[in-house]
Amino acid sequence: MTTTTTASPSLDRSRAYCERLTKQYARNFYYGLRLLPAQKRASMYALYAWMRLVDDIADHEDGRGLEARAEQLEQWRTDTHAVLDRGPDAAGAYAVRADAVDVWPAFYDMATRHHVPRLCFDEVIAGQHQDLRPMRLQTFDELEQYCYRVAGVVGLASIHVWGFEGGRETEELAIKRGLAFQLTNIIRDFKEDTARGRLYLPEDEFDADMLKWAFAEQAAKGRVDFREGWSRFFAKQVARAQRAYAESAPLDARVSADSRPTLVAMTEIYRGLLTKIAQRPGRVLTERVSLSLWTKLRIGWRATRAAKRPS
C-alpha cells in the first residue's frame, strides 16, 4: 500500500480525537478510564484509539479482500514503528479511514512518556492477522496465545501507563488479567462470533454434535437445542475465566494508587458480566449479555470510594 507523509495534528487535537473514539466504541472501558487522573486518562484514550484503528483494518466491512487487509496491517505496523522511532510526523496517510492520522501525536506521547514495550503493539497486530480468516482454535493453549496477543499485552501496556511495582511478576499478573477479560468477552460473544465463522473456544472441548451446531444455520438465527451438554460446556469456560480473575488478584494492590479505581472498576464490570452469565450459562446462545449504565456507574463510584479508604 502506498502512503504519503502528512503533517500530524496538534497533541490537544489528537487527544480529543482519541477520547471521542474511546467514548464511541469502548463501552465497558470508558467508564473505568474516566476515573484516572487527566494525563493518564489521555494516554489510555490514545492506547485504546490505536487498538480500535487496528481492529478496523481487520474487521471493518468495506469490500476489502484478505490480502488488502493483511497489507494494511503491515503498513500500520510500519507506521507504528516509524512514529515510535522518529515521532508522529513519520506516519503515512492511512487509506482505510482518513482521520486515522489524528491518532499519532497522542499515541507517540503515550508510548514514549510511559515507556510502553514495543512488543505490545506488534503482538496486537499479530492477533489481528489471526482474525482476518475464519478462526478455529483447537486447544486452550492456542486460545491462551490468542488472548495474550489481543488482551494480555493490552494489560501489560496499561500498567505501564498507570504505574506499578513488582517488576516482571506484576507484568505477568497484568497479562493474566487481560486473559480473564478476553475469556469473558469470548464467552459472551459466542453466538455472534460463530455466526461469523470464528470459534474461539477450544475445539477439542466440544463434542461432535455441539461443534456441528456451532456452525449450522440455526446458530445465526438463534434456534437453540438446550441440551445439558451446552450448560456444562459453558460452565467450564466460566470457571476457567473465574480462575484467571482469582489468580491475578494481587495485581490490584500493585498499580499506582491514583490508577487503582480504574483497574478495580474495569475488573468488576467484566466480572459482573461473567457472574451474570454464570447464573444461566446457556443464555449466551440466544442473547448478548450486558450490564446497565447505572450498574457500571455504581461500580465506578464504589471503586473510587474504596480507593480513598485508609489502608
Q: How many domains does the chain have?
A: 2
User: Do 104 and 250 belong together in one domain?
Assistant: no
User: Do 110 and 142 belong together in one domain?
Assistant: no
pTM metric for this prediction: 0.88
Q: Are 96 and 62 in contact (CB under 8 A)?
A: yes
Q: What is the 3-state secondary structure (H, E, C) of 59-127?
A: HCCCCCCHHHHHHHHHHHHHHHHHHHHHCHHHCECCCCCHHHHHHHHHHHHHHHHCCCCHHHHHHHHHH
User: Do 282 and 150 belong together in one domain?
Assistant: yes
User: Do 83 and 154 belong together in one domain?
Assistant: no
Q: What is the mean pLDDT of the chain?
A: 86
Spatial distance between the Cα atoms of 89 and 79, rounded to a whole number of angstroms? 10
The count of other CB atoms within 10 Å of the CB of residue 250 is 12
Asked whether residue 129 is domain-assigned, the answer is: no
User: Do 110 and 143 belong together in one domain?
Assistant: no
Q: What percent of the chain has pLDDT over 90?
A: 58
User: Do 147 and 230 belong together in one domain?
Assistant: yes
User: Do 152 and 251 belong together in one domain?
Assistant: yes
User: Do 38 and 95 belong together in one domain?
Assistant: yes
For the four alpha carbons of 140, 142, 143 and 145, in that order, the dihedral sign comes to positive
Asked whether residue 285 is domain-assigned, the answer is: yes
pLDDT tier at 40, thresholds 50, 70, 90 = very high
Which segments of the chain does DSSP mark as H helices, in order? 11-25, 28-33, 38-59, 66-86, 104-113, 118-131, 140-147, 153-162, 167-188, 190-195, 208-214, 217-221, 228-247, 260-279, 293-308
User: Do 96 and 144 belong together in one domain?
Assistant: no
Asked whether residue 127 is domain-assigned, the answer is: no
User: Do 54 and 21 belong together in one domain?
Assistant: yes
Q: Which residues pair with 199 in a beta bridge?
A: 136
If you average pLDDT over residues 184-203, what whole number do you get?
90
pLDDT tier at 310, thresholds 50, 70, 90 = very low
Q: Residue 58's domain is classified under what CATH number?
A: 1.10.600.10
User: Do 182 and 238 belong together in one domain?
Assistant: yes
User: Do 88 and 234 belong together in one domain?
Assistant: no
Last residue of some domain: 81, 114, 147?
114
Q: Summarize pLDDT for 86-128 with one digit per residue, the tens.
A: 999 988 755 567 788 899 999 999 999 999 999 999 999 999 9
Asked whether residue 121 is domain-assigned, the answer is: no
Q: Which residues pair with 5 in a beta bridge?
A: 92
- Least confident among 57-66, 76-85, 140-149, 204-213: 57-66
Name the 3-class secondary structure at 164. strand
Asked whether residue 289 is domain-assigned, the answer is: yes
If you average pLDDT over residues 192-212, what whole number do you get?
86
If you average pLDDT over residues 265-284, what whole number do you get?
89
Asked whether residue 124 is domain-assigned, the answer is: no
> What domain range includes position 154?
134-311
